[in-house]
Amino acid sequence: MNNFTFYSPTFFSFGKDAEQQAGDLVKRFGGSKVLIHYGGGSVVRSGLLGRVKASLDDAGVPYVELGGVKPNPRSGLVYEGIELCRREDVDFVLAVGGGSTIDSSKAIAAGVIYDGDFWDFYSGKYIEKALPVGTILTIAAAGSEGSPDSVITNENGMFKRGATGDAIRPKFSILNPALTQTLPAYQTACGITDIMAHLYERYLTNTAEVEVTDRMIEALLLTMIHEGPRVIENPDHYDARANIMWAGMMAHNNSCGVGRSQDWNSHNIEHELSALYDCAHGAGLAVTMPAVFTYVMNHDVMRFAQIAVRVWGCQMDFAHPEATAKAGIEALRHFLISIGMPKNFAELGAKEEDIPKLVDVLCNGDGRPGSISGFVTLNEQDCAKIYQLMV
Ligand code: NZQ
Ligand code: ZN
């Protein structure tokens, strides 16, 4: 295991009606004027936004609002949010929605007190300071409610990049599983896929002797395999939603990623798909993961065989471990298809003729060195072959 530091100071309030604490929690974490940031309207239709405002009113905390965050959140709205916060002397950003809304909120929070262009943070500059952020989560997926990360799409070229910094870890996150019951089945499945990807990206490591985090990841993956189909079949299943929601947080606050190298090539390869075609991140990952894993499997066949046996219940073939490894990847592929995820470029809305463009932005965009690194370093040729496997 490698040396590590781990700092995860988010306060969580989990359970039914937890959103009623929003006003008190904003005050407790120092907010005196709030930006309520939200997406395309699901929180308006569900009545959640009204309940959040009532809670802020009860606590005597004034607020301004900015809705309209799109899935794969755009830089344009971030600039608008920064201006609004400066004009209105906002000192706390409250995200009400999914990962896109939370990421846009984090970008605004960092940008408000920064003299330069907020995009600097998405070009590699570490976020040292930001306004405090709180979240009220409505979809279990991205894990942004407990992560130090934010992913934004730059409209000037339509490419997607991430920023990071402990300053944007939410001060508090309200997780009420009942709020996720209004999700369409497709979005629920996208969330399940993203959570599983966050676990796989950590499982694919070059660090030896990481049994504790291996076992934590396996437990969370087994939870997703158990609860995923139950919630697709019965969207109102509170306890299945609850288990998925906490697994989503655990999968990405890095408690199971410490002390080990991680992959993230599937995410990088997917991000170009959701940036170009505006597909859901989870749907893109469902197509990307089996292709990447098939391509890199021989780098460490035993690691893929281990997850196949421990998580997917495959029989270990000691004479041919690559057969076991492959069976595990196929089990993942079939599981994702069974919960309604796309299986190839066509179902995702992606086009084979765009592969050279995707590869170029992926490997060379925004100062990248002609390759991406992770479990395996992948150059332009490798990435082209991986996209080709998805066709
Ligand atoms: O915009 P509204 O109207 O709210 O609708 C949303 C949106 O259309 C809808 N939705 C959310 N909660 C709902 C609901 N509809 C009905 N009932 C509810 N309770 O679902 C759609 C998707 O929402 P979005 O916020 O985009 O989903 P998600 O949480 O999957 O976030 C995806 C974004 O997170 C980024 C992705 O790249 C993508 O841009 N990621 C962020 C990470 C991070 N910050 O740590 C890590 C992830 O790997 C990921 O890259
Ligand atoms: Zn993700």
pLDDT tens over the chain, length 391 residues: 999 999 999 999 999 999 999 999 999 999 999 999 999 999 999 999 999 999 999 999 999 999 999 999 999 999 999 999 999 999 999 999 999 999 999 999 999 999 999 999 999 999 999 999 999 999 999 999 999 999 999 988 778 899 999 999 999 999 999 999 999 999 999 999 999 999 999 999 999 999 999 999 999 999 999 999 999 999 999 999 999 999 999 999 999 999 999 999 999 999 999 999 999 999 999 999 999 999 999 999 999 999 999 999 999 999 999 999 999 999 999 999 999 999 999 999 999 999 999 999 999 987 889 999 999 999 999 999 999 999 9
Domain ranges of the chain: 11-179, 184-390
- Ligand 1 shell residues, CB under 6 Å: 39-43, 71-73, 97-101, 103, 138-139, 141-144, 147, 149-151, 179-180, 182-183, 187, 190-191, 194, 252, 267, 281-282
For atom 39 of ligand 1, the residue with the nearest CA is 72
Residue nearest (by alpha carbon) to ligand 1 atom 22: 71
Q: Where do we find the tokens 């969370």?
A: 220
CATH number, span 11-179? 3.40.50.1970
- Going from the Cα of 247 to the center of ligand 2, the distance in angstroms, rounded, reads 13
pLDDT of res. 158: 77
Residue 194 C-alpha to ligand 2 middle, in angstroms? 5
Task: Assess contact for 89 and 131: CB atoms under 8 A.
Answer: no
8: nearest Cα among 130, 169, 245 = 169
pLDDT score, position 86: 98
Rounded distance, CA 245 to CA 230, Å?
14
Distance CA(107)–CA(152), nearest Å, equals 8
Q: Model's pTM, two decimal places? A: 0.97
Residues 123-162 as b or e (16 or more Cβ within 10 Å = b): eebebeebbbbbbbbbbbbbbbbbbbbbbbbbeeeebbbb
The DSSP line for 17-58 is TGGGGHHHHHHHTT-SSEEEEE-SSHHHHTSHHHHHHHHHHH
- C-alpha–C-alpha distance, residues 119 and 359, integer Å: 22
Q: From the CA of 144, which ligand is nearest?
A: 1
Tell which CATH classification among 1.20.58.110, 2.40.240.20, 1.20.1090.10, 3.40.30.10 matches the domain 184-390. Answer: 1.20.1090.10
